[in-house]
Each structure stands twice: as structure tokens, then as C-alpha cells.
Amino acid sequence: GQNIDQPTEMTATEGAIVQINCTYQTSGFNGLFWYQQHAGEAPTFLSYNVLDGLEEKGRFSSFLSRSKGYSYLLLKELQMKDSASYLCAAGGYQKVTFGIGTKLQVIP
């Protein structure tokens, strides 16, 4: 079966750092995706981790531990435009399973 857990909501202050956690239990796991989705829009790709460790891409970083079934997305120097939902997704062969998403609100 597929099971992905992430917090439903988070609030953080502009300029701060926020970490969004995701745990997963899936069969045929290949890698872990993170997507950003602004209200009323389609999800857009942020990162993909296949190997254990941290991948940094500008203000966003993503971490994966395959042995623990755990990932996090780290957002630094938060901006108001970062207010969005962040979707964790476990990738398998020809199929991706999404979590329900974490709605992040950035406040001044």
C-alpha cells in the first residue's frame, strides 16, 4: 500500500526558515518529489531526491533518508510569495503517490 504523511498546515514569518516534514511507506519506491501549488493553480516541480542526503537549490533544499522513510523540504529567507501548498510525493515505476499537502502561510 501507499501511505504518505505530512502536516496539513504551517505558519511562518517572512524572512524566517521553515521545515516541512514528510514520512512515507510505499512499495516500489524510487525517489521523493516535492511540488509547490499556489491556490487555484497546478502543482509545479521543486525537487527530486533519489539518494540519501541534502540537495540544495537556491532558497529551497530537500532531504531524504530512505532507511527511515523520511524527507523534508527546507525553505530559507521566506517570502510572502512562498505562501502555497507543498506536496510530498513518492515516486515508483510509472506511478507517483501524493500526500495531501502542507498549506504554508507566510505572515509579515
Residues lying near another protein in the complex (CB under 8 A) are found at 2, 8, 30-31, 33, 41-45, 48, 50, 87, 91-101
Nearer to another protein, 63 or 102 (CB): 102
Nearer to another protein, 36 or 78 (CB): 36
Gap between the Cα atoms of 55 and 31, Å rounded: 13
Nearer to another protein, 75 or 90 (CB): 90
Gap between the Cα atoms of 8 and 20, Å rounded: 10
Shortest Å distance, C-beta 25 to another protein: 15
Gap between the Cα atoms of 21 and 90, Å rounded: 13
Gap between the Cα atoms of 89 and 108, Å rounded: 29
